[in-house]
Structure 1
Amino acid sequence: MTEYVTSADGTRIAYQVAGEAGPPVLVVDGAMCHRAFGPSGGLAAELAGAHRVFSYDRRGRGESGAGGPYAVQREVEDLAALVAAAGGRATLLGLSSGAALALRAAGAGIGVERVVAYEPPFSTSDEQRARFREYRTGVEQDVLAGEPGAAVARFMALVGTPGPVVAQLRESPVWPAFLAVAPTLVHDAEVLGGTEGAPVPDALLAGLPVPVLVADGGLSPALLRDAAAATAAAAGAEYRTLEGQTHEVAPDALGPVVAGFVARG
Structure 2
Amino acid sequence: MRVTSADGTTIEYTVRGDGSPVVLVGGGLDDGRENEPLATFLADAFTVYNYARRGRAGSGDTAPYAVDREIDDLAGAGAGDDDVASARGSPAWPGLLTLAPTLAHDAALYGPPPADRLAAVRQPTLVITGETTGFFADAAAAVADLLPDATVRTFDGAGHVPPPDLIGPALRDFLGPAVLRPPGPMRRPGSGT
TM-score of the superposed pair, with normalisation by structure 1: 0.52
User: 1:66: how far off?
Assistant: 0.8
CA–CA distance in 2 between the matches of 1:213 and 1:109?
25
**1:263 and 1:227, CA in 2 relative to 1: closer, same or farther beyond 3 A?**
same
AA aligned to 2:44 is G
Q: Deviations over 1:158-196 (max 9, x none)?
A: xxxxxxxxxxxxxxxxxxxxxxxxxxxxxxxxxx96xxx
Whether 1:87 aligns to 2:83 is yes
Q: CA RMSD in A?
A: 2.7
Tell me the residue number matched to 2:57. 62
CA–CA distance in 2 between the matches of 1:239 and 1:73?
30
Q: Deviations over 1:95-136 (max 9, x none)?
A: xxxxxxxxxxxxx969xxxxxxxxxxxxxxxxxxxxxxxxxx
Tell me the residue number matched to 1:245. 158
Give runs of aligned pairs for residues 22-41 of structure 1, distance below 5 A. Answer: 22-35=19-32, 38-41=33-36
Tell me the residue number matched to 1:53. 48
User: 1:82: how far off?
Assistant: 2.6
DSSP 3-state at the match of 1:87: helix
Which protein has the bigger helix share? 1
User: 1:232: how far off?
Assistant: 2.2
User: 1:258: how far off?
Assistant: 0.9
Q: Which one of the candidate residues 201, 224, 231 is aligned to 2:114?
A: 201
**1:254 and 1:211, CA in 2 relative to 1: closer, same or farther beyond 3 A?**
same
CA–CA distance in 2 between the matches of 1:32 and 1:212?
24
Aligned residues: 155
Large movers: runs of 4+ above 6 Å: none
Instruction: State the percentage of identical aligned residues.
Output: 41
Give runs of aligned pairs for residues 97-108 of structure 1, distance below 5 A. Answer: none
CA–CA distance in 2 between the matches of 1:215 and 1:109?
29
Q: Deviations over 1:224-246 (max 9, x none)?
A: 11111112233332222122211
User: 1:204: how far off?
Assistant: 4.5
AA aligned to 2:6 is A
Which moves more between the two structures, 201-210 or 43-52?
A: 201-210
Q: Which one of the candidate residues 134, 139, 144 is aligned to 1:227?
A: 139
User: 1:223: how far off?
Assistant: 1.4
AA aligned to 1:242 is F
DSSP 3-state at the match of 2:22: strand
Q: Deviations over 1:46-81 (max 9, x none)?
A: 111111111110011011111221112221222222
**1:214 and 1:61, CA in 2 relative to 1: closer, same or farther beyond 3 A?**
same
DSSP 3-state at the match of 1:245: coil
CA–CA distance in 2 between the matches of 1:203 and 1:80?
28
Tell me the residue number matched to 1:217. 130
User: 1:215: how far off?
Assistant: 0.7
DSSP 3-state at the match of 2:27: coil
Stretches of structure 1 that go unaligned for 5 or more consecutive residues are 91-107, 111-191, 194-199
TM-score of the superposed pair, with normalisation by structure 2: 0.69
User: 1:206: how far off?
Assistant: 3.5
CA–CA distance in 2 between the matches of 1:51 and 1:57?
19
Q: Deviations over 1:1-26 (max 9, x none)?
A: xx12222222221101122x111211
Tell me the residue number matched to 1:7. 5
AA aligned to 1:87 is D
Give runs of aligned pairs for residues 42-191 of structure 1, distance below 5 A. Answer: 42-85=37-80, 87-88=83-84
CA–CA distance in 1 between the matches of 2:68 and 2:161?
27
Tell me the residue number matched to 1:17. 15
